[in-house]
Amino acid sequence: MKKQNKIILGLTGGLGSGKTTVARIFKSLGAQVIDADKLAHACLKKGSNVYQKIISVFGTRILLSNSNIDRKKLGSIVFNNCKMLRKLNSIIHPEVIRMMTDDISSSRARVVVLDVPLLIEAGLEKIADKIVVVNASRANQVERVFRKSKIKREEILKRIRCQMPLSKKAKLADFVIDNNGGLKETRRQVKQIWRRMWKS
C-alpha cells in the first residue's frame, strides 16, 4: 500500500489500553480511521449471514424480543468461555475483514488507521504496512474500562485474560505507544510516529 503513496497503520492493544484515544489523535493529524468494532456491530444486523450463523451456534436465547441480537447476552456467554469467544470471532472476523478491505480500497486518505482490538489474532497484521500497539498497565486498563463502562472489575479481568498478552503483541509492533501517562504524553508519541512512519 505504501508504494501507492498510502500507509495502512494497524492499531491494536488490549481492552481499554487507549486504542480509540490514539486513533482520535491520528485522525486529528489527517488520517482516516476505520473502526473494526463499529463494522462488527453493523454485521450483526438482523437477517445478515453473520446473524444467521450466530443463531445457529448460540441459539435463539441470544435474541431480544424484537429479534435483534442481544449483544450484552452474547457478551456474557463468550466472555465466560474463551472457546466460545474464539468461535464467535471466527464467524465475525471474515465479514469485518471484507468490509475493511472495501473501505481501504475506496479511501482517498494517505494514511488509513485500522482500529482493530484483535488485529493480530485475526491475521490482519498482513494488510497493514506498520503495526502500532497501544500499551497500558493492567491496573490502568481495568480502572479506565471500569470508569468508562461500569462493568465489574472481575468481569473486565476475565475479558483481558481471553486476549493475547500485550507483551506478545508488542513483539510484532513497529511502534509501541506507552499510554500509562497523561494524554499530552500520548499525543507526543503519536506525533513522533506520524513523522517517522514514512521513513522506514
Question: Given the rule CB under 6 A, which residues bind ligand ATP?
Answer: 13, 15-21, 117, 144-145, 148, 179, 182-183, 186
Q: Which is closer to ligand ATP, CB of 20 or CB of 48?
A: 20
CA angle 51, 120, 56 (to 5 degrees): 20
Note whether 9 and 112 are within 8 A (CB): yes
Q: Which is closer to ligand ATP, CB of 21 or CB of 32?
A: 21
- Residue 187 CB-half CA count within 13 A: 8
Q: Which is closer to ligand ATP, CB of 111 or CB of 166?
A: 166
Query: Least separation, in Å, of the C-beta of 20 and ligand ATP?
Result: 3
Q: Which three cell numbers stand for residue 101?
A: 478491505
Query: Least separation, in Å, of the C-beta of 51 and ligand ATP?
Result: 22
Query: Least separation, in Å, of the C-beta of 27 and ligand ATP?
Result: 12
Note whether 190 and 25 are within 8 A (CB): yes
Q: Which is closer to ligand ATP, CB of 128 or CB of 156?
A: 156
CA angle 16, 152, 183 (to 5 degrees): 25
Residue position matching grid coordinates 508519541: 189
Amino acid at 163: Q
Among residues 62, 65, 64, the alpha carbon closest in space to that of 73 is found at 62
Query: Least separation, in Å, of the C-beta of 100 and ligand ATP?
Result: 16
Query: Least separation, in Å, of the C-beta of 65 and ligand ATP?
Result: 27
Q: Which is closer to ligand ATP, CB of 108 or CB of 150?
A: 150
